Amino acid sequence: MKTFKSVILVKYPQELVWQAIRDRLPEMVPYLDDVAKITQEHRKEDDDGSLLLINIWKADAKIPKILHSIIDPDSLSWTDRAQWISENNACHWAIEPHFFPDRTKCTGITYYEQAMGGRGTRITFTGELEVNAKNIPGLPSMMEAKASKTIESLVTTLIPKNFRKVTGALSSILDK
pLDDT tens, position by position, 80-93: 999 999 999 999 99
Q: In the predicted model, what is the mean pLDDT of residues 54-77?
A: 77
CATH class of the structural domain 2-175: alpha beta
Look at residue 74 and tell me whether its pLDDT is greater than 70.
no
Please tell me the predicted confidence (pLDDT) of residue 71: 66
Alpha carbon distance 155, 81 (integer Å)? 18
Cβ proximity of 62 and 74 under 8 Å = no
Look at residue 101 and tell me whether its pLDDT is greater than 90.
no
Burial class of residue 9 in the structure, from the number of CB atoms within 10 Å of its CB (0-12 exposed, 13-18 middle, 19+ buried): exposed
Looking at every residue in the chain, the average pLDDT score rounds to 88
What pLDDT digit, counting tens, does each position of 19-58 carry? Answer: 999 999 999 999 998 889 999 999 999 988 899 999 999 9
| Torsional sign, CA 21, 50, 129, 131 | negative
Percent of the chain topping pLDDT 90: 57
Each domain of the chain, given as residue ranges in start order, spans: 2-175
Look at residue 1 and tell me whether its pLDDT is greater than 90.
no
Q: Give the pTM.
A: 0.84
Alpha carbon distance 160, 173 (integer Å)? 20
Count of CB atoms within 10 A of residue 120's CB? 17
What pLDDT digit, counting tens, does each position of 131-155 carry? Answer: 887 777 677 777 777 777 877 777 7
| Torsional sign, CA 20, 128, 95, 154 | positive
Cβ proximity of 123 and 17 under 8 Å = yes
